[in-house]
Chain A
Amino acid sequence: MSGKHLNLKLKIWRQSGPQTAGSFVDYQIEVSPDDSFLEMLDELNNKLESEGKEPIAFESDCREGICGTCGLVINGQPHGPIPKIATCQLHMRNFNNGDTIWIEPFRAKAFPVLKDLIVDRSGFDAIMNAGGFISVNTGGVPDANEILIPKEIASASMDAAACIGCGACVAACKNASAMLFVSAKVSQFALLPQGKPERFRRVEKMVKVMDDLGFGSCTNTYACEAECPKGISVTNIARMNREYFLAKVKSKELEV
């Protein structure tokens, strides 16, 4: 631990509010390689505050890669250069003395900037409200072991459920598509017996809201999977497309 300090030049996006134009501002900082990326920003903010200047607004909470609150585009990559980690898990030892680092918010039409590096991702909640659940009320459910679920199925469902709702997939996609996020939720439930009764309703409703909110369409570039901190697989997108197709067929059948 504790190697030599790094001298870095930071180019950070500053934008005072949703309606104002933003721009990159230069900062110089010296940090320990043991610091995390966000600790570097803490230190910079502490310095700005002590000078009476407004600190850089950015979000984080768990700092363990699980809550999905953090999310910055670092040198053009959502969550930075190291695969399969969230921004809060990135450490400064992955940078070199003298580096210039560009820091921006996640950008997408459906994720408007609120201030500096903070964006509004409430679109994800709106999609969830439309269908991201199994319709059961509290109480009156069967004993947990009455539903047998093969280990492989539970495990595949868990793979999809691991999504932290960070939005990096949207930020990585040139169309700002939310397909990876939505398909992860659809898959988690579609795989499980409990989720089957309303699988078609669910996928139709979620996709509709996704489209209404201005998330783009998927053109299979797979940039989302590459930047996803949880390694959510694009096979989920294929599964969702199947579910959606089946849902359409089903609703046609019902019309007859």
Chain B
Amino acid sequence: MVKLDSKIPEGHISEKWTNHKFNMKLINPANKRKYDVIVVGTGLAGASAAASLAELGYNVKAFTFHDSARRAHSISAQGGINAAKNYQNDGDSVYRLFFDTVKGGDFRAREANVYRLAEVSNNIIDQCVAQGVPFAREYGGLLDNRSFGGAQVSRTFYARGQTGQQLLLGAYSALSRQVGLGKVKMYSRREMLELVVVDGIARGIVCRNLVNGEIEKYSAHAVIVATGGYSNVFFLSTNAMNCNTTAIWRAHKKGALFANPCFTQIHPTCLPVHGEGQSKLTLMSESLRNDGRIWVSKKKGDMREPNDIPEEERDYYLERKYPSFGNLSPRDISSRSAKEVVDEGRGAKGQEAVYLDFEDAIKRLGRKAIEEKYGNLFEIYETITGENPYAVPMKIYPAPHYTMGGLWVDYNLMSNIPGLFVLGEANFSDHGANRLGASALMQGLADGYFVIPYTIGNYLAADKPEKLSVDHAEFENVKKQTEDLTKKFLSINGKQTVDDIHKRLGRIMWNKVGMGRNENGLKEAVNEIRELREEFWKDVKVPGNDKDINQTLERVGRLADYFELGELMAVDALNRNESCGGHFREEYQTEEGEALRNDEEYTYVAAWEMEELGKWKLHKEDLQFEYVKLSTRSYK
């Protein structure tokens, strides 16, 4: 029987974490080395966790499918990282960051977790600076900040347009130090394929050595999974090519609850699809919306060049619909509005794209000013599209970007399977139905540097889990199960390639489980996903063998998991008869087309238990809003 207990500590919100830290059991320094911890994933969350735990004295085994920890997807984050330092003296505080994050998440996150996130945010900046992360600075030598993602205070720290890179390299260097000291054993080019659960407790993992194909078994006293998000279920997204859901999905199939799978974030300013060969989508910084004006033609099917469309025939639809926020309307609203005009047949030159135009800004501020502000981004745009955005309006379109959903965890970041902890984008914890800009980096590092080092100690001290030998029958079973699955993939020998099928799944997800969702569409999606899944299992083709590097084999396993997750995303979206944050059910909107929450019935976390494929049981974790009063957003 699964029982959801969020384990939120007692006391006033500002004292919960402090009290909890005091009440937790400790392991004395000499005894920590008697404990082994597996960390899967070495992005911001995993690398910071692995390094911090090793510093404390635990024996850490760290796994990544990349050739090096430095390649994790965290590296591509551009914008920045939030913290409540209030260095700018502009009224920021832990409480305000907490407030903004709860509200930004459209009241679907746990207050206690969000408060802790805001509380430790300041320590993160201190830590990163001490590691030598070269954040941007003022002439006086102090740290510089900017405002980001609609916040009314300047609380975002950044390192040029490469904040994620610098933070990850910081965590990676801390990790490297521990590898050098022998406290972390690094297993790169390993893909976790299964979680091993014995007597209801997480005991270890089984993974594939991606170089020689060996299926390997590893056991430990606790397992941490920090494997990132699942936006690639849409095939095209801003995520790196290899991001996938396998680790958390296979853990879900072993009993871990999956929370709010339908909460996905679609980013409004990405480069549009250029053709069939498109492999991924590129994010263009949101900052462009500060000066660019977004428009499409008023006419359907207008094939004219943008510069040939006269002013009076253009529809600046965001400015028209949301006069006070205009082009800076929140991510979900701008994304949906773009899809609406494209669905009406008014996309740029008939394509799935809208214009982002700098003509007025150049007239107003001069080309030089625009160059100074956005020169770098304009160059990227030109490299990719071959078009000059100073002369011709940019084309942009929304793309899947971030997944708020993930494995359910309690306040200690432990899943419902004792001994399995989940960090970073892979868990569901802090962003509710919508993540604010510059908050994912903060969460990943909060989890890894400042939360897990405490909570895992408490688990090990209180529960005293035993480490099993990898010769235990269950490890053997799981290994066999994994090998059988590999054989199965290799033996189907159908006619379609993995990517061709993945693209078709992506299309279903994008059209029916994407930005705008409705009951009929979601029901159709479930059926279509099932049909396509059946076709996949009969007709996919995987060349090569399982004894060396076989990238098709890597991808086919990930796709198999996306098929199952995709169905659950639709099921979750269908269950949630309301619109909130990134989840927009067309049936539930205000007259102005705004998301209409249903707080009476849906102020809960939907945590799904898999009974069998296609059959999930819903567990609800009710959310209480004691400090931030439930209210409706308005951006009119």
Establish whether residues B138 and A151, one from each chain, have CB atoms under 8 Å apart when the complex forms.
Answer: yes
- Give Cα A2 to B131, complex, Å: 46
In angstroms, how far is the closest chain A Cβ from the Cβ of B409?
Answer: 20
Given A39-B278, A62-B73, A149-B130 contact (CB < 8 Å): no
Please pick, from A50, A128, A138, the residue contacting B172 in the complex, using a CB distance under 8 A.
A128
Q: Which residue of B lies closest to A90 (CB)?
A: B383
Residues of A within 8 A of B166 (CB): 158, 161
Residues of B within 8 A of A147 (CB): 129
Given A42-B277, A68-B70, A124-B68, A157-B541 contact (CB < 8 Å): no
Establish whether residues B173 and A132, one from each chain, have CB atoms under 8 Å apart when the complex forms.
Answer: yes
Residues of A within 8 A of B241 (CB): 60-63
Establish whether residues A49 and B386, one from each chain, have CB atoms under 8 Å apart when the complex forms.
Answer: no
Residues of A within 8 A of B543 (CB): 48-49, 52-55
The reply on A34 being an interface residue by CB < 8 A is: yes
Residues of B within 8 A of A60 (CB): 241
Establish whether residues B51 and A138, one from each chain, have CB atoms under 8 Å apart when the complex forms.
Answer: yes
Residues of B within 8 A of A25 (CB): none
- Give Cα A49 to B69, complex, Å: 29
In the complex, chain A residues 210-236 whose Cβ is within 8 Å of any chain B Cβ: none
The reply on B220 being an interface residue by CB < 8 A is: no
Establish whether residues A165 and B70, one from each chain, have CB atoms under 8 Å apart when the complex forms.
Answer: yes
Q: Which residue of B lies closest to A35 (CB)?
A: B277
Q: Which residue of A lies closest to B186 (CB)?
A: A125
Establish whether residues B385 and A194, one from each chain, have CB atoms under 8 Å apart when the complex forms.
Answer: no
In angstroms, how far is the closest chain B Cβ from the Cβ of A185?
Answer: 8
- Give Cα A197 to B549, complex, Å: 43
The reply on A97 being an interface residue by CB < 8 A is: no
- Between A139, A143, A162, the greatest number of chain B beta carbons within 10 A of the residue's beta carbon is seen for A139
In angstroms, how far is the closest chain B Cβ from the Cβ of A130?
Answer: 6
Question: Would you give the 0/1 interface string for B161-174, flagging 1 where the beta carbon is closer than 8 Å to chain A?
Answer: 01001100100111
The reply on A254 being an interface residue by CB < 8 A is: no
Residues of A within 8 A of B177 (CB): 129, 133, 135
The reply on B19 being an interface residue by CB < 8 A is: no
- Give Cα A91 to B160, complex, Å: 25
Please pick, from A118, A128, A189, the residue contacting B176 in the complex, using a CB distance under 8 A.
A128
Please pick, from A2, A54, A130, A137, the residue contacting B180 in the complex, using a CB distance under 8 A.
A130
Residues of A within 8 A of B14 (CB): none
Question: Would you give the 0/1 interface string for B119-142, flagging 1 where the beta carbon is closer than 8 Å to chain A?
Answer: 000010111111110111111111
Please pick, from A52, A144, A150, the residue contacting B129 in the complex, using a CB distance under 8 A.
A144
The reply on B240 being an interface residue by CB < 8 A is: yes
Chain A binder among B253-261, B497-505, B565-573: B497-505
Establish whether residues B85 and A144, one from each chain, have CB atoms under 8 Å apart when the complex forms.
Answer: yes
14 contacts between A and B (CB under 8 A): A34-B386, A50-B500, A62-B75, A63-B279, A69-B67, A85-B383, A93-B386, A114-B549, A121-B67, A129-B177, A137-B55, A151-B139, A192-B134, A194-B129
Establish whether residues A136 and B70, one from each chain, have CB atoms under 8 Å apart when the complex forms.
Answer: no
- Give Cα A189 to B134, complex, Å: 9
Given A61-B241, A132-B176, A46-B125 contact (CB < 8 Å): no
Please pick, from B449, B541, B549, the residue contacting A49 in the complex, using a CB distance under 8 A.
B541
Residues of B within 8 A of A28 (CB): none
The reply on A183 being an interface residue by CB < 8 A is: no
In angstroms, how far is the closest chain B Cβ from the Cβ of A139?
Answer: 7
Establish whether residues B134 and A42, one from each chain, have CB atoms under 8 Å apart when the complex forms.
Answer: no
The reply on A182 being an interface residue by CB < 8 A is: no
Given A68-B71, A154-B135, A17-B548 contact (CB < 8 Å): yes
- Give Cα A121 to B71, complex, Å: 12
- Give Cα A125 to B176, complex, Å: 7
Establish whether residues A57 and B143, one from each chain, have CB atoms under 8 Å apart when the complex forms.
Answer: no
Establish whether residues A66 and B76, one from each chain, have CB atoms under 8 Å apart when the complex forms.
Answer: yes
Establish whether residues B68 and A165, one from each chain, have CB atoms under 8 Å apart when the complex forms.
Answer: yes
The reply on A31 being an interface residue by CB < 8 A is: yes
Residues of B within 8 A of A138 (CB): 48, 51-52, 55, 127, 174, 449-450, 453
Please pick, from B67, B453, B495, the residue contacting A122 in the complex, using a CB distance under 8 A.
B67
- Give Cα A162 to B52, complex, Å: 24
Q: Which residue of A lies closest to B551 (CB)?
A: A57
- Give Cα A53 to B552, complex, Å: 11
Establish whether residues B126 and A125, one from each chain, have CB atoms under 8 Å apart when the complex forms.
Answer: no
Establish whether residues B279 and A36, one from each chain, have CB atoms under 8 Å apart when the complex forms.
Answer: yes
The reply on B179 being an interface residue by CB < 8 A is: yes
Given A129-B177, A151-B138, A32-B386 contact (CB < 8 Å): no
Establish whether residues A115 and B173, one from each chain, have CB atoms under 8 Å apart when the complex forms.
Answer: no
The reply on B564 being an interface residue by CB < 8 A is: no
In angstroms, how far is the closest chain B Cβ from the Cβ of A49?
Answer: 4
The reply on A59 being an interface residue by CB < 8 A is: yes
Question: Would you give the 0/1 interface string for A69-96, flagging 1 where the beta carbon is closer than 8 Å to chain B?
Answer: 1000000000000000100010101000
Establish whether residues A129 and B75, one from each chain, have CB atoms under 8 Å apart when the complex forms.
Answer: no
The reply on A21 being an interface residue by CB < 8 A is: no
Establish whether residues B173 and A38, one from each chain, have CB atoms under 8 Å apart when the complex forms.
Answer: no
- Give Cα A98 to B104, complex, Å: 53
The reply on B20 being an interface residue by CB < 8 A is: no
Given A1-B385, A63-B241, A114-B549, A158-B160 contact (CB < 8 Å): yes
Please pick, from B70, B72, B143, B275, the residue contacting A35 in the complex, using a CB distance under 8 A.
B275
- Give Cα A54 to B387, complex, Å: 36
Q: Which residue of A lies closest to B166 (CB)?
A: A161
Q: Which residue of A lies closest to B387 (CB)?
A: A1
Establish whether residues B544 and A142, one from each chain, have CB atoms under 8 Å apart when the complex forms.
Answer: no
The reply on A256 being an interface residue by CB < 8 A is: no
Establish whether residues A2 and B85, one from each chain, have CB atoms under 8 Å apart when the complex forms.
Answer: no
Establish whether residues A67 and B137, one from each chain, have CB atoms under 8 Å apart when the complex forms.
Answer: no
Question: Would you give the 0/1 interface string for B136-161, flagging 1 where the beta carbon is closer than 8 Å to chain A?
Answer: 11111111000000000000000110
Establish whether residues B179 and A1, one from each chain, have CB atoms under 8 Å apart when the complex forms.
Answer: no
The reply on A26 being an interface residue by CB < 8 A is: no
- Give Cα A40 to B127, complex, Å: 42
Please pick, from B126, B172, B211, the residue contacting A144 in the complex, using a CB distance under 8 A.
B126
Establish whether residues A145 and B549, one from each chain, have CB atoms under 8 Å apart when the complex forms.
Answer: no
- Give Cα A48 to B275, complex, Å: 20
Establish whether residues B551 and A55, one from each chain, have CB atoms under 8 Å apart when the complex forms.
Answer: yes
Establish whether residues A189 and B240, one from each chain, have CB atoms under 8 Å apart when the complex forms.
Answer: no
Establish whether residues B132 and A189, one from each chain, have CB atoms under 8 Å apart when the complex forms.
Answer: yes
- Give Cα A121 to B334, complex, Å: 42
The reply on A177 being an interface residue by CB < 8 A is: no
- Give Cα A31 to B274, complex, Å: 12
Residues of B within 8 A of A246 (CB): none
Residues of B within 8 A of A39 (CB): 277-279
